[in-house]
Amino acid sequence: MARGRAAGYDDQRELILARAAALFAQRGYPATSMNEVAQACGLSKATLYHYYRDKYALLVSIAEGHVRKLDTLVAEVLAQGLAPELRLRALIRRIVAEYAGAQHAHRVLTEDVRFLEAADRERVLGHERAVVAGFAQAVAGLRPELAAAALAKPMTMLLFGMLNWMFTWVQPDGALDHDTLAPMVADLFLGGLPAVQPPGAGGLPAVQPPDAGGLPAVQPPQFIAAGIAQAHQA
């Protein structure tokens, strides 16, 4: 009869992944040893190998586990059938919230995926493509003519240019947290999206008045809170 896994086995695996992700993010994947991972987890090296066969297995699990979560949450939002703007706002909010709790794993995904073997890298990139496709679908819902001009994906990549590098400068104990920044990103992107013109669609877009969106549409946190309070009082 096969022996079952000990209670807490999965929790221990998750702890190991979290500690390994922190080390990879801080030191880099090539410079981190299994001895260091074991020490960070308070385990012997032999015990660590009971959970993961080698350092490469840790890298695959961190990168693929993180991007699978992103893929899943995008699918969940799309399945809700929200109106186009609400759909994109929900995607931004959910992805930023996931990044907030996985900054080390996200750094590993963005910087160490190049160390994956071809099959593993392609599997991870497949999930990344699905995430981008989900966002591009939401952008196309707001601006169908951009999709027709093959611009929905480029607009999505510009959005991810804001999202993907937040981990490099947002401080967990800073004045602005991820919950505060998510609606700002949405306001900035959604405010500017209407001004984007497909190439050959009549030259440069007309200059928009200050209240038309983009940067002027971004509200300081206290103004957002005040607006919500007023809406509840109305």
Region at 116 (left for phi over 0; alpha for psi -120 to 50; beta for the rest): beta
pTM of the model: 0.81
- The 10s digit of each residue's pLDDT in 129-166 is 999 999 999 999 999 999 889 999 999 999 999 998 88
Average pLDDT of the residues of the chain: 86
Whole-number Å distance between alpha carbons of 112 and 17: 15
**1-15, 59-73, 177-191, 215-229 — most confident range:** 59-73
Helix (H, G, I), strand (E, B) or coil at 156: helix
Q: Which of the 8 DSSP states describes residue 174? A: S
Output the CA angle 60-104-131, nearest 5 degrees. 65
Residue 229 has pLDDT above 80, yes or no: no
When pLDDT is cut at 50, 70 and 90, the band that residue 231 belongs to is very low
Question: Of 214 and 23, which is predicted with more confidence?
Answer: 23
Q: Dihedral through CA 172, CA 62, CA 183, CA 178, nearest 10? A: -10
C-alpha span between 134 and 127 (Å, rounded)? 11
Q: What is the pLDDT of residue 174?
A: 79
Q: Would you state the structure tokens that stand for residue 92, as one six-digit string?
A: 């931004």
pLDDT value, residue 32: 97
- Beta-carbon count within 10 A of 179 CB: 12
